[in-house]
């Protein structure tokens, strides 16, 4: 097998994001429709053994880091078993997870023991009523407790906050203060047109510049933190006194497509080389038809050659619109 996954733009993929379910126990306005119940049939979801086999093939092609996503990954039973299985793959350096945190507190220690190294926890507001209006259910305090518990058991924790103008952008300073008080990095993510609710508009996007200026004015001056990994989507800043860090994922105002090193595997066994790729490339049938690892590896490499330029092309061609894809189906 070839030692790397190179697309037609010369980008090399080192990170695999695996969605283990399309189901979720929240209904965040930037992700899933409020009354959505059109779930995938369970027989169409990849088994843990199938995911492990595909991850092993990906690792031989150069994948080094895995992130477990959903929907909400913790609604899938015994996901810690999958993490343990993936931890056994010698070339995988780290396994992380993106979660809304509602079920994390009770499983943080188990996940850590299974081999999970870090978690990105979604939290968009500190106000319970707003939490419910943005996320479709109550539970803000439960998420805050999970953040502290995950940190206490030794998981590396980051908080992901999607800012939507008129909804929660007035809390940017509060999240910056939280980063200072706890030492946990908070990353502000620009609202992307991957929303099942169909509300996305460009004027709802809160840019990095707006948020950076607000925090500098209301909390304190920020200075950029250098990083050796140009593929990281977040630009990191520290307060000038060294206490607290925040990050900015400027996916709309300053796309990082040229440095993208990610590929995605959906819960129903489709390879997506880009968040905005639809419908993806079916690898599940290859598994279930008994095709060899070598054949599957060649198929994956062919898929990677078709990887599009990314959202930057949609911006250039004025093609942005709501629901370009569904975040809960593909994993963030």
CATH number of the CATH domain containing 50? 3.20.20.70
- Assess whether pLDDT exceeds 70 at residue 138: yes
Confidence tier at 4 by pLDDT (50, 70, 90)? confident
pLDDT of residue 197: 82
> Looking at residues 19-43, what average pLDDT do you find?
88
Q: What is the pLDDT of residues 159-215, one digit of tens each?
A: 999 999 999 999 999 999 999 999 999 999 999 998 878 899 999 999 999 999 999
Q: What does residue 108 show for φ and ψ, rounded to 5 degrees?
A: -55, -50
Distance separating alpha carbons of residues 186 and 174, to the nearest angstrom = 11
pLDDT of residue 39: 87
Pairing of strands 185-190, 156-163: parallel
- Assess whether pLDDT exceeds 80 at residue 329: no
Structure tokens at 220: 């304190």
> Looking at residues 61-74, what average pLDDT do you find?
97
Quote the longest CA-to-CA distance of the chain. 60
Which helix (H) or strand (E) element contains residue 19?
strand 15-19
Q: Is residue 158 in some structural domain? A: yes
Confidence tier at 134 by pLDDT (50, 70, 90)? very high
Asked if residue 161 lies in contact with residue 187, where contact means CB atoms within 8 angstroms, the answer is yes
Q: Is residue 145 in some structural domain? A: yes
Q: Is residue 8 in some structural domain? A: no
pLDDT of residue 142: 98
Q: Full-prediction pTM beyond 0.85?
A: yes
Exposed (0-12), middle (13-18) or buried (19+): which is 152, by Cβ within 10 Å?
A: exposed
How many helices (H) and strands (E) in the chain? 11, 12
First-residue to last-residue Cα distance in the chain? 28
Q: Is residue 194 in some structural domain? A: yes
Give me the sheet containing 222-224, strands edge to edge. Answer: 222-224, 235-239, 245-249, 185-190, 156-163, 118-122, 94-99, 65-69, 15-19, 262-265, 270-272, 281-282
Q: Which residue has the higher pLDDT, 154 or 31?
A: 154
Q: Which residues pair with 159 in a beta bridge?
A: 121, 186
Q: Is residue 9 in some structural domain? A: no
Q: Is residue 6 in some structural domain? A: no
> What is the secondary structure of 90-132 as a DSSP string?
TT--EEEEEE-STTTTTTHHHHHHHT--EEEEE---S-HHHHH
Number of compact structural domains in the chain: 1
Q: Is residue 253 in some structural domain? A: yes
Confidence tier at 296 by pLDDT (50, 70, 90)? very high
**Span of 118-127, 226-235, 288-297 with lowest mean pLDDT:** 226-235
Evaluated on CA atoms 197, 213, 233, 156, the torsion sign reads: negative
> Looking at residues 135-150, what average pLDDT do you find?
97
- Assess whether pLDDT exceeds 80 at residue 112: yes
> Looking at residues 70-96, what average pLDDT do you find?
97
Compute the mean pLDDT over every residue in the chain, rounded to the nearest whole number: 94
What share of the chain in percent tops pLDDT 70? 98
pLDDT of residue 3: 54
Confidence tier at 332 by pLDDT (50, 70, 90)? low
> What is the secondary structure of 151-178 as a DSSP string?
HHTT-EEEEEEEEBTTTTGGGHHHHHHH
pLDDT of residue 324: 77
Distance separating alpha carbons of residues 275 and 256, to the nearest angstrom = 12
Q: What is the pLDDT of residues 297-328, one digit of tens each?
A: 999 999 999 999 999 989 889 888 888 777 77
Asked if residue 186 lies in contact with residue 247, where contact means CB atoms within 8 angstroms, the answer is yes
Evaluated on CA atoms 18, 22, 23, 29, the torsion sign reads: positive
Q: Is residue 10 in some structural domain? A: no
The residue segments making up the domain with residue 275 are: 15-330
């Amino acid at each position: 097998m070839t030692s790397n996954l190179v697309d037609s733009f010369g980008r090399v993929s080192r990170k695999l994001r695996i969605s283990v379910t399309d189901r979720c126990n929240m209904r965040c306005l930037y992700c899933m429709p409020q009354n959505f119940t059109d779930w995938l049939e369970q027989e169409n979801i990849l088994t843990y053994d199938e995911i492990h086999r595909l991850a092993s093939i990906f690792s031989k092609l150069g994948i080094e880091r895995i992130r477990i996503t959903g929907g909400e990954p913790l609604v899938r039973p015994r996901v810690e078993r999958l993490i343990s299985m993936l931890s056994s793959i010698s070339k995988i350096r780290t396994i992380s997870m993106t979660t809304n945190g509602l079920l994390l507190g009770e499983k943080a220690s188990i996940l850590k023991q299974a081999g999970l190294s870090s978690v990105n926890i979604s939290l968009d507001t500190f106000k319970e009523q707003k939490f419910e209006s943005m996320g479709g259910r109550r539970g803000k305090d439960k998420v805050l407790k999970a953040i502290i518990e995950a940190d206490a058991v030794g998981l590396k924790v980051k908080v992901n906050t999607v800012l939507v103008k008129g909804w929660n952008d007035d809390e940017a300073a509060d999240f910056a203060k939280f980063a200072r008080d706890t030492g946990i990095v908070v990353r502000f993510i620009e609202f992307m047109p991957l929303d099942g609710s169909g509300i996305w508009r460009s004027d709802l996007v809160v840019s990095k510049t707006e948020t950076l200026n607000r925090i500098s004015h209301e909390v304190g001056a920020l200075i950029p933190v250098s990083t050796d990994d140009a593929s990281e989507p977040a630009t990191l800043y520290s307060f000038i006194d060294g206490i607290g860090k925040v990050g900015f994922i400027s996916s709309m105002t300053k796309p990082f497509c040229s440095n993208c090193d990610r590929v995605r595997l959906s819960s129903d066994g489709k390879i997506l080389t880009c968040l905005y790729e639809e419908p993806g490339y079916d690898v599940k049938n290859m598994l279930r038809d008994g095709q060899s690892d070598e054949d599957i590896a060649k198929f994956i490499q062919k898929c990677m050659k078709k990887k599009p330029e990314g959202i930057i092309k949609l911006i250039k061609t004025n093609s942005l619109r709501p629901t370009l894809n569904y975040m809960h189906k593909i994993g963030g």
